[in-house]
Amino acid sequence: MEALMQELKEKIITSLKLSDVTPDDIDVDAPLIGEGLGLDSIDTLELLVMLERDYRATVPDVNAGRRVFASVRSMAEHIRQQQAN
């Protein structure tokens, strides 16, 4: 799980072109949207595409999306659940 969360932090930085952020700057339990990393809805769409492309993990609706994109840890947990099915 730790390796997946580290990988996700790197993919978030790359996908969103966050040149002033390092993986160590991202707290795995901090909010991604709004406060915390400060992502917006466009950023969330980019992450959704990355999840589907790289992990074949889907997000069925907005409510699930709020849970999935709450933090790096929640994204990793979602990927693990999707891969287990």
Q: 22 lies in a domain?
A: no
63: containing domain: 2-17+27-84
Residue 69: its pLDDT value, please?
A: 95
Number of domains in the chain: 1
Residue partners of 10: CB distance under 8 A and separation at least 6: 23
Per-residue pLDDT of the chain (85 residues; tens, 9 = 90+): 999 999 999 999 999 999 999 999 999 999 999 888 889 989 999 999 999 999 999 999 989 999 999 999 999 999 999 998 8
Contact (Cβ atoms closer than 8 angstroms) between residue 50 and residue 15? yes
Contact (Cβ atoms closer than 8 angstroms) between residue 10 and residue 49? no
Q: 54 lies in a domain?
A: yes
- Please state the pTM of the whole predicted model: 0.93
Strands (E), 13-58: none
- The amino acid present at 69, given as its one-letter code, is F
List the CATH number of the domain containing 66: 1.10.1200
